[in-house]
Structure 1
Amino acid sequence: MHGHRHTIHKDHIHHGWNNAFAPCLKIAPGEVVHFETVDASSGQLSRTSTEADLAKLDLAFVNPVTGPIFVDGAKPGDALKISILSFSPSGWGWTGNIPGFGLLADQFPDAKLHHWNYDPGLKPAMYGPGGKVPLRPFAGTIGVAPAAPGLHSIVPPRNVGGNMDVRDLFAGVELYLPIEVDGALFSVGDTHAAQGDGEVCGTAIESPIDVVLKIDVVKGANLRMPRYVTPGPVSDHFDKAGYEVTTGIGADLMAGARMAVSEMIELLCRRFGYSAIDAYMLCSVCADLRISSIVDVPNWVVSFYFPRIVLE
């Protein structure tokens, strides 16, 4: 590890954002904290869970985050600088199609659950009829408490971060978050072993993973939104064998995204023998949605990049 001075155990979790939650730890800027996390189901799913367990998931208890942490001297108008130091994967995770959730929820109404048992040393994980997904862990939910009082759902991301599901927030990245309340009240969780840009089925490889972060304050940054800096390439774990790419072209970006993903599901089913639901879930953990063109009025191009290394 990195000689961290603080550990927050996984019994210190909360559901939803609320600036009235009492901090479980106070730190000075520049300190290092080791967070234990609980998977996105908040422990409702385990290594032996079935589709029936997923179908009765209590959505009031999804995306638990560990915290909150009060950072001395952090004030509204400052930014919280999070240096992401390391992740310690657990070796187990799940991907699920949760009824009513996900980009193609209307096309996939039934619960489906896939278990991943992977090498914590980050060898590729196995999937279904022969997919191997290179792993790169990150925290899907990372943020600070909003100024607006009361309890806020943790599912949507917001200007102070939260459930951003940005797969590029991996070890080595620096993340800057706008602060809206004294002490910032920072929390982290929803750790993933791998995800594609878009997380199209609504889940990644949801996996309990310990996180080590250095937390600092940048005075007077006045950020409107989160921003981050990566130390190097962001897709080299997927790039090695190139990509299959489908597109969705039309006047609406959301419809374009749905079309591009639907086209990829069709390709995977036809060429590699996946069932549609398996292809959809596999896309969520490894394939990247991109806006390729957004200026040629009135139609925009959304592309969906599926890494061929997964199918080799």
Structure 2
Amino acid sequence: MAATCKAHSFHVNSSQKQFKWNNAVTPILTVDSGAEISFDLADGGNNQITDKSTVADVENFQNDLADPIYGPIYVNGSEPGDVLKVEFLDLQCAPYAWTAILKGYGVLAEDFPEPYLKIWDLSPEQQAKGYAVFKEGIHVPLRPFLGVVGVAPAEPGDHDTIPPQDTGGNIDCKYITQGSTLYLPVKVKGALLSCGDGHGAQGDGEVGGSAMETPMKARLRLTVEKGKLWLRSPHYLTNPATMRQAEVLALGEYGCLGIDSDLFQASKKACRQMIEWLVNTKGLTREEACILMSVAGDLKIVEAVDMPNHAVSMSIPLSIFVGPQYRDEGAAAKL
């Protein structure tokens, strides 16, 4: 029988994980509504890549070990039709992160058949600066969040942890940072919450297939809410203090539009154009451009109603280019 606790007297460690959603799994912990739980989480790759890794580790990456979830946690008083309110009280990155081009992953997977790896310095001193260094002159703002947070689906059996569902899971929503709140529709008694997949930063879409992947320590508060029968998918409330949108967009952004009758094809076109812009105006390699787009670029639907075609934008905030080599007159003229 799972232990019952209140507050954050129970710590979920990095060994208490699953690789499938399944509402028949015995919970590792039973808590009352309002309890705070701390987690020690491996990264979304299950720590297959570390700060000592090389591209060989990317070549040997095992997809079936990706996106482990930590839990499940049974919340007393939660019933199907309720909502589980998840408050993100604290999120702490490890001293390093990684971003990789993995075979078969990403919006442009067919364009990048060869593996690639970027290791990020997230030492306490670097985190205190509020950004990670992509390369000299390019700084990516840090905004830690958990890519995977969800409750068990109603349907029996195993469910893959990689695709998101109406019950949450691998939603990869960069707006659910420390101080934010996520609302999840409960489908089974006890809710059975699990989480994982720490990120130091990510662009909307995570288009390269990985973000700034990092092990993470997290502390969450879980509260059962009744009477919100209209909530049938994950909803969230952001924390303006950790969004930093005004600061990030202080110098504007550069965007590329992809136009197509298929939204995914439009997304591909927008991403390919952004890679061309980064290569031709910032001197990045195609692989560097893909990595930077994945952690700092935002994929957005800007037009969905003028059928048969749709417009998708991929944009990059210009504030990340802090070095003079990226902001001289020549570079500005190419804008």
Asked whether the two chains share a fold, i.e. TM above 0.5, the reply is yes
Match for 2:232: what amino acid?
R
- The reply on whether 1:53 has 2:61 as its aligned counterpart is no
Q: Distance in 2 between matches of 1:177 and 1:82?
A: 8
Task: Look up the match of 1:229.
Answer: 237
Contact 1:42 1:62 in 2 (8 A): yes
Match for 1:225: what amino acid?
S
- The reply on whether 1:190 has 2:197 as its aligned counterpart is yes
Gaps of 5+ in 2: 1-6, 323-335
Match of 2:299, SS state, is strand
- Cα deviation for residue 122 of structure 1 reads 5.0
Q: Superposed, which structure 2 residues align to 1:229-308 within 5 Å?
A: 229-232=237-240, 234=243, 235-308=245-318
Match for 1:243: what amino acid?
E
Q: Distance in 2 between matches of 1:145 and 1:104?
A: 31
Contact 1:143 1:187 in 2 (8 A): yes
Contact 1:5 1:31 in 2 (8 A): no
Q: Superposed, which structure 2 residues align to 1:90-239 within 5 Å?
A: 90-118=94-122, 119-128=126-135, 130-222=137-229, 223-232=231-240, 234=243, 235-239=245-249
- Rg larger for: 2
Match for 1:26: what amino acid?
T
- Cα deviation for residue 188 of structure 1 reads 0.9
Task: Look up the match of 2:35.
Answer: 31
Task: Look up the match of 2:73.
Answer: 69
Cα 1:58/1:149, change in 2 over 3 Å: same
- Cα deviation for residue 293 of structure 1 reads 1.3
Name the structure where helix makes up a greater proportion of residues: 2
Task: Look up the match of 2:331.
Answer: none
- Cα deviation for residue 143 of structure 1 reads 0.3
Larger mean Cα displacement after TM superposition, 115-124 or 161-170: 115-124
Match of 1:285, SS state, is helix
Contact 2:177 2:239 in 1 (8 A): no
TM-score by length of 2: 0.89
Cα 1:27/1:163, change in 2 over 3 Å: same
Deviations 1:185-242 (A, max 9, x none): 1011101000000000110000011111110011242322111111327433521221
Cα 1:59/1:12, change in 2 over 3 Å: same
Displaced runs of 4 or more, over 3 A: none
Cα RMSD (Å): 1.4
Q: Distance in 1 between matches of 2:161 and 2:137?
A: 34
TM-score by length of 1: 0.96
Match for 1:71: what amino acid?
V
Contact 2:75 2:190 in 1 (8 A): yes
Contact 1:90 1:120 in 2 (8 A): no
Match for 1:228: what amino acid?
Y
Identity, in percent, stands at 38
